[in-house]
Amino acid sequence: MPTVADYIVLNDRSFTLIEGESREIGPFDLPSNFVRGTSRAKPILAYRAKALGSADGALAPQARLRVSIQNGLHPLETVFLEGDGLSGQWEAFSGNFLNDVVLNDVTFTLEMGRIWISDVILWYQVRI
């Protein structure tokens, strides 16, 4: 059965996290024809991120960010960002972490530093 890529914009605004803070994005639902995934068909979480320096400007920009899905039950990735450049991040992961029956969420938890995040998008495949 053929599939096609689709996406949902989970957050199109920016937010900043400081060490120890979390931000949950959701809840969001998926269509019933969502493809859970195979080794070649996986959902992709994409977002923009930038490490920020300390509030007083004394420390170079560094941040360690943990990203998880379904109330933190399924860790997707831990990213270390260094320097003041804006980066695009994306992670392909098992579609079994998502559900087309109950609501889903994505959680960003900052383990170290300060970070700016924006434009969180979930790409997935649907059967047509």
The CATH topology of domain 3-127 is: Jelly Rolls (2.60.120)
pLDDT (tens digit per residue) in 20-76: 999 999 999 999 888 887 777 899 999 999 999 766 665 778 899 999 998 778 889
Does residue 1 carry a pLDDT above 70? no
pLDDT value, residue 57: 63
Which whole number is the average pLDDT over 104-125? 95
- The residue ranges of every structural domain in the chain are 3-127
Could you give the CA distance from residue 17 to residue 109 in angstroms, rounded to a whole number?
8
Peptide bond into 31 cis (omega under 30): no
Can you read off the two tokens belonging to residue 97? 């972490």
- Residue 82 structure tokens: 């260094």
**Residue-level pLDDT at 108:** 96
